[in-house]
Amino acid sequence: MVERRVEVTPVWAFRMPALIGRDAVARRRGGVLERLVHAGGAPVVVRAAQTARDRVLIGAEGPHRAACDAAIERARFWLGVDDDLSEFYARFRYDPVIGPVVRAQPWLRAPRRPEPFEALAWAITEQLIDFPRAAAIQRRIVFRLGPRCPRTGLRDLPSARSLAGQAPALLQSLDLSAGRSLALVRCAREVATGRVDLHDDHEAGWRRLRRIPGIGAWTLEILALNGQGRHDQVPAGDLNLAKLVARMRTGDPHARATEDEVRELFAPYAPWGGLASVYAMRALDVTAPPRPADPRRGRTRSSARVAGPLAA
């Protein structure tokens, strides 16, 4: 095994993110975030820790130096240490909606996956269902089909090539619906054969994936924001954004805005609309719908987060 370490100075204010998702892939131990990735087909264990306010140490253990270096590059993207958000901060720090959060939490970033296919695959599993159920499906896929590191016990998502060879019926047995199982396999085949390049030619890939039944705007916008680092893409079909925009417009906590209304609200934030939506969700927390008032405390309580799009 080869070990590589790189100390990075983040370009912008940074805090090590909490675990992304509940798919049993990454884990955090004593301030060290770690997960298994596959770089060029080779398994690499990546670890990252924030050693100072302006220092992040990223390490990789793999079979050869090239794989370790490639895995470190994916980890840098995953963490967002190279993102320069100074323009975003300068433009919106006094914005009436997101300004307070921009000033108080300038390190906030959109959650990311090390590989864009991960964001695409998980977006498909999250279509039109609540987040806990989607996370349970993701864990089943990881434990059934994902490779495991025997040395650390860490698991990775199955690759596009692996999922491309699966029968949709197998994914259905893991509680993914028939339509979404077929859509996931078809997307995996497009990526595995090289007909879709998720790394470089984003727009062309989106157009080709959009032809697959069950792949809509929300799925591709989640791919763009969380898997390709596209801050300009707003997942306008997201249920939580629909609730947020409706509450801002009407004050009604039960109202739902249309996708067009969501896009209209975030249009002035271009080309940072996707990132602005992350800050808006933090500024106006509507991820927890109101529950009946607790008479013992004289205030309302919140229930668990609702996730997923209004449309695929």
Residue-level pLDDT at 18: 78
Based on the fold, state whether residues 64 and 144 are members of the same structural domain. Answer: no
Decide if 100 is inside a domain: no
In this structure, the number of other CB atoms found within 10 A of the CB of residue 295 comes to 7
31 CB-near residues (< 8 Å, 6+ apart): 16, 49, 50
Task: Read off the pLDDT of residues 184-198 as tens digits, 9 standing for 90 and up.
Answer: 999 999 999 999 999
Residue-level pLDDT at 312: 53
Query: Are 184 and 145 spatial neighbours (Cβ–Cβ below 8 Å)?
Result: no
- The label of the residue with tokens 């300009």 reads 232
Decide if 107 is inside a domain: no
Decide if 306 is inside a domain: no
Range of the domain at 35: 2-83
Residue 170's domain is classified under what CATH number?
A: 1.10.340.30
* Cα 135 from chain centre: 13
Write the CA distances from 187 to 201, 206, 209, 289, integer angstroms: 16, 11, 7, 33
309 CB-near residues (< 8 Å, 6+ apart): 126, 127, 128, 216, 218, 219, 235, 237, 238, 239
- Count of the separate structural domains present in the chain: 2
Based on the fold, state whether residues 60 and 138 are members of the same structural domain. Answer: no
Task: Read off the pLDDT of residues 142-169 as tens digits, 9 standing for 90 and up.
Answer: 999 999 999 999 999 999 999 999 999 9
Question: Cis bond leading into 268, ω under 30°?
Answer: no
Backbone angles phi, psi at 204, to 5 degrees: -65, -40
What's the maximum distance between 2 C-alpha atoms anywhere in the chain? 62
Decide if 265 is inside a domain: no
Mean pLDDT by 10 residues, the chain (312 residues): 97 87 90 94 96 97 97 97 98 96 96 97 96 96 97 96 98 98 98 96 97 98 98 96 93 93 97 97 64 40 40 49
In the chain, the amino acid numbered 228 is Q
Structure tokens at 272: 């940072």
**Domain boundary pick from 165, 194, 227:** 227
Based on the fold, state whether residues 133 and 218 are members of the same structural domain. Answer: yes
Which pTM was predicted?
0.90
Decide if 96 is inside a domain: no
Decide if 295 is inside a domain: no
Residue-level pLDDT at 138: 98
Based on the fold, state whether residues 208 and 121 are members of the same structural domain. Answer: yes
State the Cα torsion 145-44-221-84 to the nearest 10°.
170
Task: Read off the pLDDT of residues 65-91 as tens digits, 9 standing for 90 and up.
Answer: 999 999 999 999 999 999 999 999 999
**Domain boundary pick from 63, 83, 103:** 83
Residue-level pLDDT at 20: 67
- The label of the residue with tokens 């996931």 reads 184
Decide if 299 is inside a domain: no
Task: Read off the pLDDT of residues 34-45 as tens digits, 9 standing for 90 and up.
Answer: 999 999 889 999
78 CB-near residues (< 8 Å, 6+ apart): 112, 113, 114
Decide if 207 is inside a domain: yes
In the chain, the amino acid numbered 42 is A
In this structure, the number of other CB atoms found within 10 A of the CB of residue 41 comes to 8
Query: Are 22 and 135 spatial neighbours (Cβ–Cβ below 8 Å)?
Result: yes
